[in-house]
């Protein structure tokens, strides 16, 4: 593994956490917990894995990302700003009237957003439509869908999973940010999915189970996913909701709550020191 690359990506993930928390703090509204749990995955995707061109967001041959857990858009908005799709200042308009940065992502407003999401359970199906079209048009594009583990309660996820397998979509990678918490409590209490990896395997996916905060393991999983032929891949990434901010970690309340000034400053200090 290339240490320089890993260190670079760790730095980007840190920067991403700071930026997304800044946007939520400024808005005094948004979802920090699931944004922080996905930060290492999203940083690695955008700063290493994806074939994209921020100067040409509509480039047809590009890779695509569907953030199916759309409420975690602060992590997406922040990474797109860091990639240069729009000015960093735009992040400060999150959830404000007239902003391109809606509470949940709007593909027609935000350059770099490939699919409008926000209603859970719908993104994987859209990613499948993209993957089918990409194969039909003989593109090398790869399609990534990021789901939450709570989101896997939705029946449509499993309808979609079966069809991804039927159509042998080896250009599709589903990433489950398994942070073990959902809106109302712990996943194991609300709707247990103890055998989540097996559920994806049973649906016909090649499954890689990784630590979703290890840049090395994320990089390795993306590389292995490219080697899989004839079936779709699911990366079940074990994560911590609120990762990087001690008082947010594993606390259900930080699913959809903005920090106050004191909390925000403490959070930023912790991330910077880590």
- For another protein, which residue of 50, 78, 127, 240 counts as binding (CB under 8 A)? 127
- Tell me the three state secondary structure of residue 69: coil
Candidates 119, 140, 195, 260; binder of another protein (CB under 8 A) is: 119
The whole-angstrom separation of Cα 146 and Cα 182 is: 15
**Is residue 57 at the binding interface for another protein, with CB under 8 A as the rule?**
no
Task: Check binding of 234 to another protein (CB under 8 A).
Answer: no
Give the DSSP H/E element, type plus range, for residue 144.
Answer: strand 143-148
Contacting range for another protein; rule: CB under 8 A; set: 22-30, 40-48, 58-66, 221-229: 58-66
Strands 181-182 and 185-186: antiparallel
Q: Does 159 bind another protein (CB under 8 A)?
A: yes
Q: How far apart are the first and last CA of the chain?
A: 22
Beta-carbon contacts of 232 under 8 Å, excluding residues fewer than 6 positions away, are: 131, 164, 165, 168, 169, 170, 172, 173, 174, 204, 205, 206
Alpha carbon 135 to its chain's center: 23
The least CB distance from residue 19 to another protein, in Å, is: 25
Nearest CA among 248, 192, 206, 265 for reference residue 39: 248
The reply on whether position 124 binds another protein by CB under 8 A is yes
In Å, how far from its chain's centre is CA 136? 26
CB of 220: closest distance to another protein in angstroms? 28
Q: Does 81 bind another protein (CB under 8 A)?
A: no
- Do 253 and 33 touch, CB atoms closer than 8 A? no
What whole-number distance in Å separates Cα of residue 221 and Cα of residue 223? 5
Count interface residues toward another protein (CB under 8 A): 36
Q: Is 163 in the site for another protein (CB under 8 A)?
A: yes
Residue nearer to another protein on the CB measure, 109 or 186? 109
Q: How many CB atoms lie within 10 A of CB 118?
A: 17
Binding residue for another protein, selected from 59, 96, 140, 162, defined by CB under 8 A: 162
According to the binding rule CB under 8 A, does residue 106 interact with another protein?
yes
In the complex, minimum distance from the CB of residue 108 to another protein, in angstroms, rounded to a whole number: 6
Please select the residue that binds another protein; options are 42, 75, 80, 126, rule is CB under 8 A.
126
* Position among 5, 10, 29, 167 found at the interface with another protein (CB under 8 A): 167
The reply to whether 125 sits near another protein by the rule CB under 8 A is yes
Interface with another protein, residue 156, by CB under 8 A: yes
Q: What does the alpha-carbon distance between residue 274 and residue 272 come to, in Å, rounded to a whole number?
A: 6
- 122 lies in the binding site for another protein (CB under 8 A): yes
CA distance 125 to 113: 16
Q: Which is nearer to another protein, 32 or 70 (CB)?
A: 70
Shortest Cβ distance from residue 9 to another protein (Å)? 28
Binding site for another protein (CB under 8 A): 60, 64, 66, 106-108, 114-119, 121-134, 136-137, 155-156, 159-160, 162-163, 166-167
């Amino acid at each position: 593994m290339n240490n320089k690359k890993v260190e670079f990506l760790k730095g980007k993930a840190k920067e991403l956490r700071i930026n997304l928390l800044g946007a939520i703090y400024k808005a005094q509204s948004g979802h920090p917990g699931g944004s922080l749990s996905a930060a290492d995955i999203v940083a690695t995707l955008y700063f290493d894995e994806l074939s994209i061109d921020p100067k040409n967001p509509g480039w047809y041959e590009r890779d695509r990302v569907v953030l199916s857990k759309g409420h975690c858009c602060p992590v997406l908005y922040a990474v797109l700003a860091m990639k240069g799709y729009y000015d960093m200042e735009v992040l400060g308009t999150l959830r404000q009237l007239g902003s391109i940065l809606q509470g949940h992502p709007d593909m027609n407003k935000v350059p770099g957003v490939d699919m409008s999401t926000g209603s859970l359970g719908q993104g994987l199906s859209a990613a499948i439509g993209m993957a089918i079209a990409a194969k039909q048009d003989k593109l090398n594009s790869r399609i990534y869908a990021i789901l939450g583990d709570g989101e896997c309660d939705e029946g449509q996820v499993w309808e979609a999973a079966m069809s991804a397998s039927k159509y042998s979509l080896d250009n599709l990678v589903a990433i489950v940010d398994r942070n073990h918490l959902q809106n109302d409590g712990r996943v194991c209490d609300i709707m247990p999915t103890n055998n989540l990896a097996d559920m994806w395997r049973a649906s016909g996916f090649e499954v890689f189970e990784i630590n979703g905060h290890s840049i090395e393991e994320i990089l390795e999983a993306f590389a292995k996913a490219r080697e899989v032929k004839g079936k779709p891949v699911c990366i079940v990434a074990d994560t911590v909701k609120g990762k990087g901010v001690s008082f947010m970690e594993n606390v259900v309340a930080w699913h959809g709550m903005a920090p106050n000034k004191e909390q925000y400053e403490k959070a930023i200090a912790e991330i910077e020191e880590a």
